[in-house]
Amino acid sequence: MRCQACGNSKQTVNARFLSAVGMLFVSRFFSRKGQMCKSCVWKQFLEYTLTTFALGWWSVPSLLASPVILAFNCASLMAASWKLRHSAAKNKVPVSVPSRTVLA
């Protein structure tokens, strides 16, 4: 399947990450969901988690939501990694090496 973040044809998994940005009196919440490859899962996790970690504490609503969002992003990363690892193990086909006849 094609990765919706980078467009490469790699093994993908459905993942979702959240972010909160506090602006003194107002909060903004962002979400990213889609089929992503392993490198995009990590990239989106880092982007959304670090944004929340740095900017999520600056208003009361985002202050309350930030710990939940950080835990959600960690759980999403672990679930996506587990799905990628186990779907790769399921799809592996044993490689058979043909026997050679050696003439002496």
SS3 string, 10-64, reads CCCEEEEEEEEEEECCEEEEEEEEEEECHHHHHHHHHHHHHHHHHHCCCCHHHHH
Residue type, 85: R
pLDDT confidence of residue 97 = 47
pLDDT confidence of residue 87 = 82
pLDDT confidence of residue 104 = 47
pLDDT confidence of residue 92 = 59
pLDDT tens digits in sequence order for the chain, 104 residues long = 899 999 988 899 999 999 999 999 999 999 999 999 999 999 999 999 999 999 999 999 999 999 999 999 999 999 999 999 988 666 654 444 455 555 54
As to burial, measured by CB atoms within 10 angstroms (0-12 exposed, 13-18 middle, 19+ buried), residue 14 is middle
Half-sphere exposure of 70 (CA within 13 A, CB side): 15
pLDDT confidence of residue 91 = 64
Domain extents in the chain:
13-86
